[in-house]
Chain A
Amino acid sequence: MEHRHLDPLVTRSRRLAGAGAVVRRRLLVAVPVLLATSIGMFALGAASPIDPAKQYAGAAAFTTSEENLAQIRANWGVDDPLPVQYLRWIGNLVQGDLGWSTSRHEPVASVLAARAGWTLLLIGVALALVLAGSLLLGSLAAYRRGGLFDRALRTAAYAVQSMPVFWLGLAAIAVFALALGWLPAGGLTDVAATGTSWSDVAWHLILPVGVLAVSQAPWFVLFVRDAVAESLRDDHVLAARARGLPGRIVLFGHALRTALLPFLTLVGTHLPELVGGAVLVETVFSLPGLGAVTVAAALGSDFPLLAAITLVTTAVVLAANLATDLAYAAADPRVRLDD
């Protein structure tokens, strides 16, 4: 317990001393990981029997001649050997050109620019809500273990855990949009609005963000509850209690802090599932995020768009893992980054 009495600023800076080196090392690893991911992307795409030109034609494929479709494939270069396609893609990428999305018929960069922001906003706000909510509720439940609040919270968590996100979304629309009429049922803005004002968007995001947060919360809530309950029995917490410190300081200052460390890891590993949930929520609330467009890209063998989305997602996950590790180091004196 000695280090707890050191000046927090000094210890924190000492703990993060190796951070620069770690970031550099992680970046060195990230490049081959991203390369491997993109190669895997193209290889999987090449193994798929889907003809992008037929997908592009849609119902017109029934009246469009084979020559017509072959010409379109030739224009796109999708019949070229895989290494040629990959090298062309990488070459353009280095020059800042993400390529042409065959399923959306616009540059990949504009697809991402138009949509990634909404998905990140949805995930970001929902994650913040989940973290704050689960830390608060989980700690409180742990403090009065076995009490009414604890039991109600756990029952609710198990119940929500068993509900598919899709169902939860439709139920939320039925209750809050149709029955009560409090919130809009979907869309990014009021459907007849003349522009995209922030207040309008925020108003429309309440339900989707809420649904995403609620659907992801059980894991976190139960984890915090168990971890805090566990650490409430730790020596230093018991000691703090014995010293007569007020309950909230013991709970949030001592017990929760100990429980926080493994929680950070959980956040990092849970991120992909949050992304998956966001895709479904976007569908239910008809939000123009990356969700629907990713599915369309996969169905249409739209390699450039799929590769770009995969790369962005991989990069986000790598960055999140790095951030988790740094946060871990900052929070736990026993972890040293430079080893």
Chain B
Amino acid sequence: MRPILRRLVASTAATGALVLAGCSAPSTPDGSSGGTTLVVATSDEPDALNPVLNYGVDGASLIFDGLVARAADNRLVAGLATDLPLLSADGRTVTAKLRDGVQFHDGTVLSAQDVVFTYQAVLDPKVDSTLRSDLDMVESVTAPDPATVVFRLRYPYAPFLQRLTLGIVPAKLLSGQDINTAGFNRKPVGTGPYRVDSWTPGDRLVLTANERYFGGRPANDRLVVAFVADDNVRAQRMRAGEFDAAELPPKLASVFDTDTAYQVQRVPTADYRGVMLPSGNPVLADPAVRRALNLAVDRSAMVSGILGGAGEPAFGPIPPTSEFAEPSIIGKPTADTAAAGALLDAAGWTPGPGGVRVKDGRTARFTLMYPASDTLRKDLALAVTADAKKIGIEVTPAGLTWDAIDPRMKSDALLMGYGTPYDPDFVSYKLFGSRFAGQGYFNPGSYRSEVVDRALQDGRDQYDPARRKAAYARFQQQLATDVPWLFLTYLRHTYVLKASVQGVTPRVEAHEHGVANSIWWNIDTWTRS
């Protein structure tokens, strides 16, 4: 036995030494040539880096620029255009003048033809762009001269300038090609602060500073976006010091609160969670039930308990941070069980067996669906279930896949999430307009209100800011009366950054946030002390 053991030990040691020798060059961080490299981690990887295919269209793509951009308060500022584009008196012609001498990463000079090409590509039915229906109003895009772009609209559309954040692609590299399959989608060329160095799918995207960026050379040389889908793994690697910044769920982020080596940012958003109450459900069709539920849910408990404080109570689809938010719709953040009960009593819903209310032989019960993989929505659904029980309404939570949810949205309640800070028209027009009743995800509960329809139409037809504000005030008040949705909370998106990172300027975020529209929207100006 002895010789065996000795041999074993020797061979094991030899193998170990070999393994170590093979890897004796432990990663030397900062392989770059002296400059700063910033590393950020996100969960979602884009499937293409082309604005035409919906990459970074909200004005922070890092690789591309739109005619207009958004400042820290989300207000529009000039981007590739010299000023905010001009509107004609009839509201149907928009003219943009381009900056002089802007160059794409490959050195070609930006011209109006590139802008025309970009928008026409989105409108081309052969291109798999999910942005096309957002640009329904565009009749034509033309370039009367190399520095001028003219949009002709089918109908006046007040928030049109908001759509001009779309990144501009170089026509020369893409014309005549199948945009769906072009190599450009993986190795794009834009005008933005960063150019694409390499993209290893599933691993990371490496960007380098664009020396000729018209907005000034980025303060750092390289930017690495690591794709780490799992939340726990992202938190562990952040803890191991691999990232300068990472997006983390509130509970995982709060662990970093007490560590002075890190800063935790809780960014306000327009990202709401709410329960869609379908009018096709016999119980939920009664406005008294909907209003009672609206009074009975304890929003502040949801914010402090489920969101760990990273959120705000929600009372409507327009976030409190928006200039269009209507203060009168804001109710009590805590539950008012007494008022809710009184409302149900008055409407004839009397307590039946087991404490569940009954009216005309119908029991006050409904199913609340949520996407099973989303733990946040599950927690909120359970909270709603518990709150409803206190006023004698029985809710059955059901965790399902979207495919199982889709066919049931007309009759069963659903925990939804969406929202955008940019313009109230973007989401609400389709979500609450009668015209879109029962059409897929648009208005799945088939909510119908003439007042809301008119208000939403006014909001998009009229350019006068005061009139728009009045229209959206009417819209929000009517929603608060009808309660087609039970708005619960606005989330805060949470990010953990190294304390040494400077220049972080959070801005109100939309539902979607990833490589191109997170806290790193202005990462080209970040520095590390």
Contact = CB atoms under 8 A, between A and B. Distances in A.
A5 interface: no
A162 interface: no
Contact of B186 (A64, A106, A202, A251): A106
Contacts of B236: 170, 173-174, 177-178, 185-186
A289 B511 contact: no
A122 interface: no
A193 B27 contact: yes
A191 B204 contact: yes
Nearest to B22: A202
A247 interface: yes
A206 B29 contact: no
Contact of B427 (A61, A63, A106, A286): A63
Contacts of A103: 47
B27 A248 contact: no
B307 interface: no
Contact of A199 (B24, B239, B404, B431): B24
Contacts of A178: 236, 239-240
A202 B23 contact: yes
A174 B236 CA distance: 7
A255 to B, nearest CB: 12
A277 to B, nearest CB: 16
Contacts of B30: 192
Contacts of B136: 65
Interface string B221-261: 01010111110110011011011000000000000000000
A111 interface: yes
B230 A283 contact: yes
Given A191-B224, A289-B202, A75 B233 contact: no
A79 interface: no
Interface in B120-150: 125-126, 128-134, 136
Contacts of B222: 192
B125 A71 contact: yes
Interface stretch (B2-10, B61-69, B462-470): B2-10
Contacts of B427: 62-63
B23 A71 contact: no
Given A191-B242, A251-B4, A288 B233 contact: no
A222 interface: no
Interface stretch (A20-28, A52-60, A224-232, A313-321): A52-60
Contacts of A71: 125, 132
A288 B203 contact: yes
A60 B25 CA distance: 45
A273 interface: no
B512 A107 contact: no
Interface residues of B, number: 72
B227 A286 contact: yes
Contacts of A312: none
A220 interface: no
B403 A186 contact: no
A293 B229 CA distance: 11
B53 A189 contact: no
A54 B29 CA distance: 40
A104 B8 CA distance: 47
A193 B23 CA distance: 15
A48 interface: yes
B130 A293 contact: no
A329 interface: no
A184 interface: yes
Interface residues of A, number: 75
Contacts of A199: 22-25
A155 interface: no
Interface string B1-38: 10110011000000000010011111111111000010
Given A59-B512, A105-B53, A284 B23 contact: no
B375 to A, nearest CB: 16
Interface in A26-74: 48-51, 54, 56-69, 71-72
A184 B440 contact: no
Given A75-B128, A106-B186, A140-B8, A60 B54 contact: yes
Interface string B414-446: 000010000000110011000000011110000
B130 A191 contact: no
A196 B31 CA distance: 12
A194 interface: yes
Interface of B: 1, 3-4, 7-8, 19, 22-32, 37, 39, 47-48, 53-54, 125-126, 128-134, 136, 180-181, 185-186, 200-204, 222, 224, 226-230, 232-233, 236-237, 239-240, 242-243, 402-404, 406, 418, 426-427, 430-431, 439-442, 511-512
Closest 6 CB pairs of A and B: A288-B202, A190-B27, A65-B133, A203-B23, A288-B203, A49-B403
Given A193-B27, A202-B22, 19 more contacts: A49-B406, A59-B418, A60-B131, A62-B418, A62-B430, A63-B426, A65-B133, A68-B129, A75-B126, A105-B53, A105-B180, A106-B48, A140-B8, A192-B32, A194-B31, A197-B25, A199-B24, A246-B3, A286-B227
